[in-house]
Amino acid sequence: MKIEIGESLTYSYLKHIEGCRIVQTNWKTSGNWVTTEFEKEQSKLFFNKVKKSSVFDDIFKNSTFEQLLKQAEIDVLGINTAENTVYGIDVAFHSAGINYGSKEETTDRIIKKIFRTIFVMQTYFSEYDKFESIFITPKVNPATQTLIDKAINQAKEIILDENIRIDFIANDRFYNEIVTPVVDNIKNENDTSELFARAVKLLQLDKKGRLNIDKTHMPEKKSSTNKRTVNGMKIGQFVQHVFRDAFEKGLISLNQIRNLQELQYSIDTFNSRYEVLRTKNKKIKDENGRNRYYTSELYCGDYYLTSQWVEQQWDHLLKWLSSIGYEVNEGEWNENEQTLLTKCVNKKNYLTPTEDIEAEETNNLGMDENNLVPNDTRNNFIVSQNILGNGNIIQVTFINGGTHDGERYIYDHDKLVEACRVHLHQNPTWNNVGNYTSSNNIPGWAMITGLIKKIK
């Protein structure tokens, strides 16, 4: 079977970086498969939602839902069984830059592939909770990239589901987020079926540099796995582990168990759309028939634990664990999380991922409020793609009754986004929703820039 080098790279990426236990290249459906209406229900709803949108109403005008399923093909499909997540990645390698015709035609084709991959995964893997559809390519020209990025953001506004992630990764991001992490993590792997990994090891044997590979045009090496892990566990697996462990250690009291069954408490504490725990006599599926709780075991004695955990809930989870006396060793955080996540600019003093940041004395203003004149007042910290470029000077006054209640801060929104672009580029909320907001405090990655001033 013919295997392209791009598909082999993606295979290694899903296996070694995303932790997929099951990976297949050139995934296709079988004509003998029978799909029920129940299996197609979610994907059909999503398909109709896309067709009815004013932005993408034309891209499927000549295709029916059933035709899309019959044509289903995904370059590389991976399943992370621990996180209950399915990945579908399409990859294209055009040495002159990806080109399917005009810039508009190229954009439409890529977006169509991304949408179709979601439809397919929702249909054939409906028992899984999360889906990621990604298109990757090493090279795209800037004008086309701009159109694709705009379309991706418009698509995210239509999706509006934290369990579905889409992305387009090209140019520097392709090397920083796909190639470099793979190269860094295959040193001790010896699977001869991984063509890309074998090619890398062959090049690494050339200690004298006889191949004379020109590295002057390669992007700066910045390995990034994009996602937090503790002891190799992503958030879904970590949640299951710590709820077992904390309960066995007697740290989850009966009062906590009662609280964890309350929706409002779950929203306020974990930013969860579902009660963290549910009794066995309650439904564990949502109104669309999707399972929202782990079913393989019961937690905290006799309760179902919600399976709906996403990246932006890490800080909420860790803060709650700290409140019940459960310790997470900082050394267990992956290196990327301890450095890149908290380093917006080139500073020497890094902060831990879970730390609530008090304003440093050097960031205080004795206001003398003429340094920055606010034109946007809020009760929550925010950075948003929707207001980027509008020149917003935001003044925040926290009124949540918490640790920072009554404190005021001020910052230049656009300058802060520019300073934090490295972190924001790794932030799922920024990528999927287009903003990041907090009604509790100023996050550490923003405060460390020195651009946010506390008003005395």
List of residues 6+ apart from 200 with CB closer than 8 A: 182, 183, 186
Contact criterion met (CB below 8 Å) for 256 and 325: no
Q: What is the share, in percent, of the chain residues with pLDDT greater than 90? A: 36
Nearest of 431, 236, 428, 426 to residue 339 by alpha carbon: 426
Q: Report, as an integer, the average pLDDT of 428-433.
A: 73
pLDDT band at residue 149, thresholds of 50, 70 and 90?
very high
List, for residues 197-209, the tens digit of each pLDDT value. 888 877 777 766 6
From the CB of residue 280, how many other CB atoms can be counted at a distance below 10 Å?
A: 9
* Strand 408-412 to 393-397 pairing: antiparallel
Whole-number average pLDDT of the chain? 81
Q: Report, as an integer, the average pLDDT of 82-111.
A: 91
pLDDT number for residue 132: 95
List of residues 6+ apart from 258 with CB closer than 8 A: none
pLDDT band at residue 95, thresholds of 50, 70 and 90?
confident
Chain-centre distance of CA 330, in angstroms? Answer: 21
pLDDT number for residue 218: 46
Question: How far apart are alpha carbons 342 and 293 in whole angstroms?
Answer: 32
Q: Is the pLDDT of residue 394 over 60?
A: yes
Q: Where are the beta strands (DSSP E) in 351-403?
A: 364-365, 376-378, 381-384, 393-397
Which amino acid belongs to residue 331? G
* Strand 393-397 to 376-378 pairing: parallel
Nearest of 221, 208, 217 to residue 182 by alpha carbon: 221
List, for residues 100-133, the tens digit of each pLDDT value. 989 999 999 999 999 999 999 999 998 888 899 9
List, for residues 282-308, the tens digit of each pLDDT value. 998 877 677 889 887 899 988 999 998
| Token pair 């990945």: residue | 87
pLDDT number for residue 359: 34
List, for residues 312-351, the tens digit of each pLDDT value. 888 899 889 988 888 876 444 454 444 434 433 343 333 3
pLDDT band at residue 363, thresholds of 50, 70 and 90?
very low
As given in the structure block, the two tokens for residue 85 are 């997540």
Q: Where are the beta strands (DSSP E) in 197-297?
A: 277-279
Nearest of 168, 433, 235 to residue 424 by alpha carbon: 433
- Domains along the sequence of the chain with CATH: 5-204 (3.40.1350.10), 235-331 (no CATH), 340-455 (no CATH)
